[in-house]
């Protein structure tokens, strides 16, 4: 089965086992943004799987960590990815305890960065050559 967009986030599309996380973390990061690091490796399944690591150290409030996870899952469901295991890890602080837990600006920034990360791994559809019919 080729990987198509799936609007579900079933358990089979998640990385849940410690060994699976460890085997992906062993590899070098594929891409970095201001706040996130993406680790990826191919898997032997017919679908992509996602793991999210949002440490309390970088997002002290649960509301912020849950927002990060929610946005990441939403973008993952909308992406067309090959059969890979992806781990998105928060690597820099996104806000402090003194400011609001989430804002529209923070959500927009998270969405932009996460879309860039997942877009880097998306299946590229061949574009038609100019002048060809």
Structure tokens at 116: 């860039």
CB–CB of 85/20 below 8 Å?
yes
Domain residue ranges in the chain = 11-119
CATH-assigned architecture of domain 11-119: 2-Layer Sandwich (3.30)
Question: If phi over 0 gives left and psi between -120 and 50 gives alpha, with beta otherwise, what is residue 70?
Answer: alpha
Q: What is the pLDDT of residue 112?
A: 92
Residue 58 CA to chain centroid, in angstroms? 17
> Which residues of the chain are modeled with pLDDT < 50?
1-5, 125-127, 132-133
Q: What are phi and psi of 40, to 5 degrees?
A: -150, 150
**For the whole model, what pTM was predicted?**
0.78
Give the Å distances, CA to CA, from 90 to 8, 12, 83.
23, 23, 23
pLDDT confidence of residue 7:
57
pLDDT at 2: 41
Q: What is the pLDDT of residue 17?
A: 80
Q: What residues are paired with 51 via a beta bridge?
A: 87
The size of the chain, in residues, is 133
């Amino acid at each position: 089965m080729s990987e198509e967009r799936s609007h579900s986030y079933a358990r089979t599309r998640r990385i849940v086992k410690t060994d699976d996380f460890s085997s992906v973390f062993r590899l070098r990061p594929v891409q970095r943004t201001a706040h996130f690091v993406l680790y990826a490796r191919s898997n032997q399944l017919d679908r992509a799987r996602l793991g999210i690591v949002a440490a309390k150290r970088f997002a002290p409030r649960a509301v912020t960590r849950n927002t990060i996870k929610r946005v990441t899952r939403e973008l993952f469901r909308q992406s067309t990815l090959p059969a890979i295991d992806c781990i998105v890890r928060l690597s820099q602080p996104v806000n402090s305890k003194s400011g609001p837990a989430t804002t529209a600006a923070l959500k927009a920034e998270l969405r932009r960065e996460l879309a860039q990360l997942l877009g880097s791994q998306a299946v590229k559809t061949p574009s038609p050559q100019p002048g060809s019919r």
